[in-house]
């Protein structure tokens, strides 16, 4: 499962471009008053991804964040059980997000052949024109995509074109979350030398869901040898979730 974390981070970073793509499709369909099968299919795939992303973000804000903020010092056994209970479900949200992401390159490969739509994008929104081309090139087969360095160069080139994500937390709350994560890390380090006595059921659920996440992640082949920081293109609501599941593995 060594590639689980970078792939989860990667699919989270596409939220901005995919929202823009959905909006461009809707705008084009209204303007041209058309009902194209391939455009409809791609719009549906973007909606599935956005819905999965927003569902996950909501769970993070309503369930994971409060459990973290309750930890002010090295957590107690009850606090860790509570945290593990909510975090154990996070991999299932990433599984849905990855599955939704995987369907988009195939739809892009079909839409990339529509001369009218692609011509309009090339003239009015070059960032989205390039995005569709890059996503289409990722498609290998059903349930398999290949991500290489091209997408990272895309993020670097068009980072100012993406929607600006505003951190919903107040600055003090952001700092409190960072402190809580540090306490959890310390607990995990200490747990290696003692019996933490966490709920076996919760731990089994977490391990099972992380295994399923790993099995889903292998459908995305990450072929890039460089080091890329996706923090600036990853919505803040996802950073906490990525950090905490990695710390508890």
| pLDDT band, very low/low/confident/very high, at 209 (cuts 50, 70, 90) | very high
**Which residues have a Cβ under 8 Å from the Cβ of 208 and sit 6 or more positions away?**
none
Q: Tell the burial category of 239 from Cβ atoms under 10 Å away from its Cβ (0-12, 13-18, 19+).
A: middle
- Which of 112, 133, 120, 123 is closest to 17 using CA atoms? 133
Asked if residues 10 and 230 have their Cβ atoms less than 8 Å apart, the reply is yes
Encode pLDDT of 216-231 as tens digits.
999 999 887 555 556 6
- Residue 84, both tokens: 């593990």
Question: Could you give the CA distance from residue 85 to residue 68 in angstroms, rounded to a whole number?
Answer: 12
Domains of the chain, by residue range, sit at 4-247
Helix (H) or strand (E) holding 221: strand 220-223
What pLDDT shows up at residue 159?
Answer: 81
What's phi and psi for 223, nearest 5 deg?
A: -115, 80
The residue-averaged pLDDT of 139-147 equals 91
**Hey, which residues does 148 pair with through a beta bridge?**
223
Encode pLDDT of 11-52 as tens digits.
988 998 999 999 999 999 999 888 899 999 999 999 999 999
The CA-CA-CA angle for residues 222, 226, 232, to 5°, reads: 85
What pLDDT shows up at residue 160?
Answer: 83
- The sign of the CA dihedral 84, 89, 93, 98 is positive
pTM: 0.87
Mean pLDDT of the chain: 85
The residue-averaged pLDDT of 81-98 equals 92
Question: Could you give the CA distance from residue 205 to residue 84 in angstroms, rounded to a whole number?
Answer: 9
The answer, yes or no, to whether residue 243 has pLDDT greater than 60, is: yes
Question: Could you give the CA distance from residue 193 to residue 142 in angstroms, rounded to a whole number?
Answer: 45
Encode pLDDT of 39-85 as tens digits.
999 999 999 999 999 999 899 889 998 998 899 998 888 998 999 89
Question: Could you give the CA distance from residue 153 to residue 126 in angstroms, rounded to a whole number?
Answer: 15
């Amino acid at each position: 499962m060594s590639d689980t974390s970078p792939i989860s981070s990667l699919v989270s970073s596409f939220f901005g471009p995919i929202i823009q793509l959905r909006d461009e499709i809707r705008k084009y369909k209204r303007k041209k008053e058309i009902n194209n099968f391939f455009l409809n299919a791609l719009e549906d795939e973007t909606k599935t991804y956005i819905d999965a992303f927003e569902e996950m973000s909501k769970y993070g804000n309503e369930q994971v964040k409060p459990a973290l903020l309750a930890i002010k010092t090295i957590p107690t056994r009850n606090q860790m059980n509570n945290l593990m209970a909510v975090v154990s479900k996070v991999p299932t949200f990433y599984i849905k997000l990855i599955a939704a992401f995987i369907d988009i390159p195939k739809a892009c490969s079909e839409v990339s052949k529509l001369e009218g739509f692609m011509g309009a994008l090339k003239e009015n929104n070059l960032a989205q024109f390039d995005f569709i081309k890059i996503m289409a090139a990722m498609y290998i087969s059903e349930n398999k995509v290949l991500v290489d360095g091209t997408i990272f160069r895309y993020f670097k080139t068009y980072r100012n074109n993406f929607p600006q994500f505003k951190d919903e937390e107040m600055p003090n709350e952001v700092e409190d979350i960072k402190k809580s994560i540090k306490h959890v890390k310390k607990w995990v380090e200490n747990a290696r030398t003692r019996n933490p006595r966490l709920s076996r059921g919760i731990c089994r659920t977490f391990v099972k869901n992380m295994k399923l996440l790993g099995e889903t992640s292998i459908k995305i082949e990450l072929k890039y040898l460089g080091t890329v920081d996706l923090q600036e293109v990853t919505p803040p609501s996802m950073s906490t979730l990525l950090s905490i599941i990695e710390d508890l593995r």
